[in-house]
Structure 1
Amino acid sequence: MRTSNWRRTGVTCAAVALTAAAMTGVATAADDTEAPQAPVVSSQEYPDDSNEHDGTGSYGTFVIDSASDDVVSYRYEWMGGSQQTLTAAEPGAAVSLRWLPQTRGVTYLSAQALDAAGNVSASTTYFVRVKAGRAAVSHWDPQSNSGSGTDTGTGVTLDAQGPTGTDITSAARFDGTDEAYVTLDSAVDTAKIFSVGAWVRPDALDSDMTAVSQAGFSLGAATNSTTGAPTWSFALPTEGGGTARVTGGSPEVGEWAHLVGVYDAEQHTARFYVDGDLVGTAENTVATGGTGTLRLGAGSDTTTAHWHGLLTQVNVWDRVFVPDEITAAATRTPQRQGYWDLETAPGGRSPEFAGGDPLTLVGDASIYTGTDDCDVNPDCTPALYPMVGSGNLLLDGDGDYATTPDAVRPSDAGFSVTAHVRLDEDTATHDMTVLSQPGEHTDLFTLRYVAASRSWEAVVAHADSAGAPTTTVSAPVAPFGWGQDEFLAVVYDERADQLRLYVDYDYAADTASVTGKDTWTPTGDLQVGRSVTADGGTDYLAGEIDEVHTYAGVLDQTRLAMLRAGGTDV
């Protein structure tokens, strides 16, 4: 038998057992070939039953124990994870591990026991069913503006708009004065595990500002001690009177950002996320924390660092808000402004997919549909078929174009435009415009073909003025020859401060920084196949255009791949 009455009675009994084995001639550990008994796994927080248990972002303890008295270690692994080893404090002792579930659903822990001779037990599989993470224990938004102990200063107005591309419809405006505050009771002890998140939009960045604070943390904008530039900040007072401060990102006036600070008291770490991205971690952090009032718009001393800007969707959790949750909370979905499939043009007007303003065809512009009789005539000339669907916009380069008053209107997140284009080598001898969006004095953007370099080029102006600064990105035309469908996309990403040009499968073909530069709202009509200039138009395109999409916000690579393949977002 591998078990005995001496199990877990300490070193003395183990020594007695070893002496007895020597006196009776029982085999030593080196001669032991019998596998120990499979371990038993148990957990108070996450029992193996048919129920879901709390929850994503909340730690649980798992005890692994074999009945065999010579087990010295345990191998374990979580579903899909790598194998790990825990060593017992003494032969036959149980081990325990702490685990933080990152997602809701069913997973399992697999464990085996190992004895001193290296024998390995059969595997035990322990199933864990995890609930979604607990809701925030403190929540504030302008629509409710309520809760235990809520008090709102006169420097706060509750009628602003929330960030576009989210389901958040309202925000509060804080005017940066002593009266710009909201306070409410908080049930979170910030000396323990907690997370805090908020959507913030500064209207000024000339001083440090606190968006959310409580005894134990502050979340807001600060000045980079090295560069002097503004940065986002998550700060916690620590034992010994110090401060752990994690910073990152580049705040911009008038631009929304999603901030999340996470303090893990078990790991002694503070992590900071800006717009869903981890920007910094402070290790070996022991926060002093505390309980008390949650304050929006000012620091705990209430006299300095007043928030000047918009604020909404403030949440404080008594658990770890995990990365997937943070990404989801920070996601801004692009809003389609127009989609013209260019399949038909009754009366010279090609309909917009959702009933918006159509594209009006001008000059000899027409919708081309490829037809031939090759199925019955062996001497036929095969037609060149449309790039997507059954029709293309056909332009001859001599005054043909299409236009619509559905302009590209950037949100504070940016804008995106896409189109399929096909050029003929014989006509691609001069510069030609695919798409342009004029304002009063210049174009917000121009997407064009440049003949001298045989390249695609996107130019964005940063103000509606004749001499406005511009940013340009470019990429070569397809290397496999003319007469091919090329998918082009221009993406202006305010969060990443990037202008990106995508060409077919090249994601991104070229990228340029637009840090500190702005977009603006144009007033002119979107132009398809030309640029508008003082003399009425230039750079007319000779070729075909199909599937024009315009968006407020940023198209990600998944949506771009879908549009490149001819799909839609509906």
Structure 2
Amino acid sequence: MKQYVWTRAATVCAAAALTVAGTTGAAIAAEAPSAPVVTSQEYPDDDNWHDGVGSYGTFLIDSASDDVVSYRYSWLGGSTRTLTASEPGAPVSLRWMPETEGVTYLQAQAVNAEGAISAGTTYYVRVQDGRAAVTHWDPDDQSGAVTGSGVTLGASGPSGTGVASAAAFDGTDEAYAALDLSVDSAQNFSVDAWVRPDALSADSTAVTQAGFALGTSTGPADAPVWSFTLPTADGGTARLTGGAPEQGEWAHLVGVYDAEQDTARLYVDGELAGTAESVTAAGGTGTLRIGADGNSGHWQGLLTDVNVWDRVFVPEEITATATRKAQRLGYWDLETAPDGKSPAYAGGEPLTLAGDASLHAATDDCAWNPDCTPVQYPLVGNADLLLDGDGDYATTPTALTPTDAGFSVAAHVRLDEAAATRDMTVLSQPGEHTDLVTLRYVAASQTWQAVVAHEDRADAPTTTVSAPLGSSSSAGEQFLAVVYDEKTDELRLYVDYNYAADTASVTGADTWTPTGDLQIGRTLTADGDTDHLAGEVDEIHSYAGVVSSTQLSSLRLGGTDS
């Protein structure tokens, strides 16, 4: 069922409140008032779709009876609330803003001075998607912007989004884009932008206008924090802050001002980072400036996809806009391997089997033969990759290449119990001097480990996460996944149902582009290969970016996430 967020409900003017707890015997005896009539200019009940998500509307509720003192109402059959009339027989008005598109309904009843309650009125509202942004700017659609010489086009936008390009701002006086903006920031408005600082400053402006600024400001210990700033009508300033900018990393910023609620909000990467209430914005109109505030707060880094709305940009929209989807690099189901190559699906090169590696596809007749000898079935489907631990492995040129959002890799694994007394590698992704990531079994502690190097050098610092060998089977049959999340600065290891089995901070570390083929069942070293896996591997998935928990659940159950 679609959900809606309630805003303030106001009567025409104040009066003594009447609380209606229910229908009493006296209420039944009294003559019931006429059922109310509901009207709305913004959201008429006329079988048509109307604006829209993030836009307020007024609903007038009136009864023909002159003794009505209050009205009971509810939305979608939810909790009942009461509005009090300014005087007997006067109508009341309700302000409401939908947060999702779809059909909903308002139910209302009139209550007279004796407590008698009228029959109910149901008023249907058909809400369409929110209005598009009044102003949009990106390097491919500059909307008539005047751009300074300190802006260079041609950079890439944040991966995993629909934003393909970005512009580089060099931090000088000429690093700006300016365009007309018709929105009055004393009224409801919202602004968002994708931003990537290439130099950290406590006072950098990404987007500004007379009535607001979105960028960075000074936080605790003089460190930069994301900020949304509003001059207020009393001559002061409302400044909302939250989140820590990181050099070279994209962030999605949203500032929202709800003039009906006198509330301002800052969202960072889809999450609410700061709220200020009882804010009356001074507002303003005029030029929208991107990358500079006309003073010293020039932006040094990338900017793209700037939007300004004359409405509230609601949380569901913000989350959808800020979400960066993982991009599949390769998927190998290991069901077949013609000519020793297991084909990739949905992208990627084949996985080439080496040594004595083979596909294991066991069958038995136990379904109808009570005297059968059961065999061990493949992990998923009809076959999986069988490795004997004595030089077997598989490789593919489709490297596990991270984006600026991170990377993810997953596989189903079953160890050979007889070989579980030594260390074994499930997969590894070599660079020129070290492995970007290694997923392995450590015999001494009977744990799974994911190790990520921070740089491509032999003595690079690493981050390790570990999880105990699961108990789903004595042979260690497990679903394993490694996720490197640049946004949250976390390295996560997932084992079967344990989400997350282990997590470690990688703050200050960045992923890097590896070289060489993805290795299945071994680790390459300067002296050759080592830690060969004895067991089975199946359903290998690799992604640039971060897979969601829903995707992980699907992969664990043998889904293809296609």
What is the TM-score with the length of structure 1 in the denominator? 0.91
Correspondence for 1:201: 196
Correspondence for 1:507: 499
Deviation at 1:145, TM superposition (A): 2.1
Q: Is it true that 1:373 corresponds to 2:365 in the alignment? A: yes
Q: Is it true that 1:218 corresponds to 2:213 in the alignment? A: yes
Matches within 5 A, 1:40-59: 40-59=37-56
Taking a change above 3 Å as real, the CA distance of residues 366 and 35 of structure 1, as seen in their structure-2 partners, is same
Q: 1:526 aligns with which of 518, 535, 557?
A: 518
Q: Is it true that 1:547 corresponds to 2:539 in the alignment? A: yes
SS of the residue corresponding to residue 143 of structure 1 reads coil
Q: Is it true that 1:255 corresponds to 2:252 in the alignment? A: no
SS of the residue corresponding to residue 318 of structure 2 reads helix
Correspondence for 2:233: 239
**What does the per-residue CA deviation read over 1:383-427, in whole Å, with 9 as the maximum and x for residues that have no partner?**
211111211011111111111121111100010000001123332
Deviation at 1:31, TM superposition (A): 9.1
Matches within 5 A, 1:322-337: 322-337=314-329
Correspondence for 1:16: none
Query: Matched residues in 2 for 1:78 and 1:397: separation?
Result: 64
Deviation at 1:263, TM superposition (A): 0.5
Which amino acid is the alignment partner of residue 137 of structure 1?
V
Query: Matched residues in 2 for 1:510 and 1:102: separation?
Result: 36
Deviation at 1:520, TM superposition (A): 0.9
Please identify, of 240-249 and 378-387, the stretch whose mean Cα deviation from structure 2 is larger.
378-387
Q: Is it true that 1:272 corresponds to 2:257 in the alignment? A: no
SS of the residue corresponding to residue 559 of structure 1 reads helix
Which amino acid is the alignment partner of residue 288 of structure 2?
L
Query: Matched residues in 2 for 1:375 and 1:306: separation?
Result: 73
Deviation at 1:81, TM superposition (A): 3.5
Q: Is it true that 1:468 corresponds to 2:465 in the alignment? A: no
Correspondence for 1:440: 432
SS of the residue corresponding to residue 426 of structure 1 reads helix
Q: 2:106 aligns with which of 94, 109, 116?
A: 109
Q: 1:481 aligns with which of 473, 478, 492?
A: 473
Q: 1:342 aligns with which of 334, 345, 349?
A: 334
> Is this contact kept in 2: 1:37–1:122, CA < 8 A?
yes
Query: Matched residues in 2 for 1:30 and 1:201: separation?
Result: 64
**What does the per-residue CA deviation read over 1:28-61, in whole Å, with 9 as the maximum and x for residues that have no partner?**
9889533322211111111111111111111001
Query: Matched residues in 2 for 1:378 and 1:235: separation?
Result: 75
Which of the pair has more CA radius of gyration? 1
Which amino acid is the alignment partner of residue 363 of structure 1?
G
Deviation at 1:71, TM superposition (A): 2.4
Deviation at 1:441, TM superposition (A): 1.8
> Is this contact kept in 1: 2:330–2:347, CA < 8 A?
no
Q: Is it true that 1:398 corresponds to 2:405 in the alignment? A: no
Correspondence for 2:22: none
Matches within 5 A, 1:548-563: 548-563=540-555
Q: Is it true that 1:72 corresponds to 2:69 in the alignment? A: yes
Correspondence for 2:182: 187
SS of the residue corresponding to residue 284 of structure 2 reads coil
> Is this contact kept in 2: 1:489–1:502, CA < 8 A?
yes
Deviation at 1:366, TM superposition (A): 0.8
Which amino acid is the alignment partner of residue 179 of structure 1?
E
RMSD: 1.9
> Is this contact kept in 2: 1:362–1:400, CA < 8 A?
yes
Correspondence for 1:130: 127
Correspondence for 1:303: 295
Taking a change above 3 Å as real, the CA distance of residues 319 and 375 of structure 1, as seen in their structure-2 partners, is closer
> Is this contact kept in 2: 1:73–1:85, CA < 8 A?
yes
Query: Matched residues in 2 for 1:269 and 1:460: separation?
Result: 43
> Is this contact kept in 2: 1:185–1:294, CA < 8 A?
yes
Matches within 5 A, 1:7-18: none
Deviation at 1:530, TM superposition (A): 1.4
- Percent identity (aligned): 71
Correspondence for 2:170: 175
Query: Matched residues in 1 for 2:40 and 2:51: separation?
Result: 12
> Is this contact kept in 2: 1:424–1:482, CA < 8 A?
no
Deviation at 1:241, TM superposition (A): 2.0
> Is this contact kept in 1: 2:69–2:84, CA < 8 A?
yes
**What does the per-residue CA deviation read over 1:161-216, in whole Å, with 9 as the maximum and x for residues that have no partner?**
11111121111111111110110011111111110011111111044210110000
Deviation at 1:374, TM superposition (A): 3.3
Which amino acid is the alignment partner of residue 358 of structure 2?
S
> Is this contact kept in 1: 2:465–2:491, CA < 8 A?
yes
Q: Is it true that 1:230 corresponds to 2:224 in the alignment? A: yes
Gaps of 5+ in 2: 1-11, 16-24
Correspondence for 1:25: none
Deviation at 1:494, TM superposition (A): 0.9
Deviation at 1:524, TM superposition (A): 2.3
> Is this contact kept in 1: 2:242–2:273, CA < 8 A?
yes
Deviation at 1:376, TM superposition (A): 6.0
- Number of aligned residue pairs: 540
What is the TM-score with the length of structure 2 in the denominator? 0.93
Deviation at 1:377, TM superposition (A): 4.6
